[in-house]
């Protein structure tokens, strides 16, 4: 076989191969973005559901979302922290300012900064455990 006997270039096959490569690249990029964003999405959704329960004065549902151990964090203590007598008072509005990894990164959860009742000087810092989505106060 000589150079003059070579097959003719198939433009349709080349275009199909190029289109397949582009589709695969886009799917891989979207999968990576989804993999990185999904924990933040679920954490924001859990915190949002928790605060919606507090705004609706449904403290039992909020306590269930918090997933506290009743022996270590009883309902009475939860009400002191989140009920009408808490440092925020009756929670009427909230805004989730940020959900991200704590300083230093490489943690087993995410931190949500939440402005309650429009007072930004005393934000709530909520820890969301990856996997279980258990909530607690972020101490640092």
The terminus-to-terminus CA distance of the chain in angstroms comes to: 74
pLDDT at 101: 85
Mean pLDDT on 78-84: 91
CB atoms within 10 A of CB 65: 20
Rounded to whole angstroms, how far apart are CA atoms 80 and 82? 6
This prediction has a pTM of 0.77
40 domain-assigned: yes
**Does the residue 36 lie in any domain?**
yes
Instruction: Encode pLDDT of 21-67 as tens digits.
Output: 999 999 999 999 988 888 889 999 999 999 999 999 999 999 999 98
Domain carrying residue 42: 9-137
The count of C-alpha atoms lying within 13 angstroms of the C-alpha of 47, restricted to the half-sphere facing its C-beta, is 30
Minimal CA–CA distance to 58: which of 83, 80, 86? 83
Structural domain includes residue 3 = no
Backbone angles phi, psi at 119, to 5 degrees: -100, 105
* Domain-embedded: residue 1: no
Question: Average pLDDT of 74-85?
Answer: 91
Task: Count the domains in the chain.
Answer: 1
Contact 102, 140 (CB under 8 A): yes
């Amino acid at each position: 076989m000589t150079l003059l006997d070579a097959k003719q270039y198939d433009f349709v096959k080349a275009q199909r191969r190029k289109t397949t490569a582009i589709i695969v690249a886009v799917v891989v990029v979207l999968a990576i973005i989804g993999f990185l964003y999904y924990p933040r999405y679920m954490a924001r959704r859990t915190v949002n559901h928790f605060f919606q329960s507090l705004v609706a004065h449904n403290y039992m549902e909020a306590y269930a979302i918090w997933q506290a151990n009743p022996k270590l964090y009883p309902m009475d203590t939860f009400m002191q922290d989140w009920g009408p007598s808490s440092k925020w008072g009756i929670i009427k509005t909230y805004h989730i300012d940020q959900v991200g990894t704590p300083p230093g990164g490489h943690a087993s959860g995410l931190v949500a900064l939440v402005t309650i009742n429009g007072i930004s000087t005393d934000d709530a810092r909520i820890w969301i455990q990856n996997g279980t989505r258990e909530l607690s106060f972020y101490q640092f």
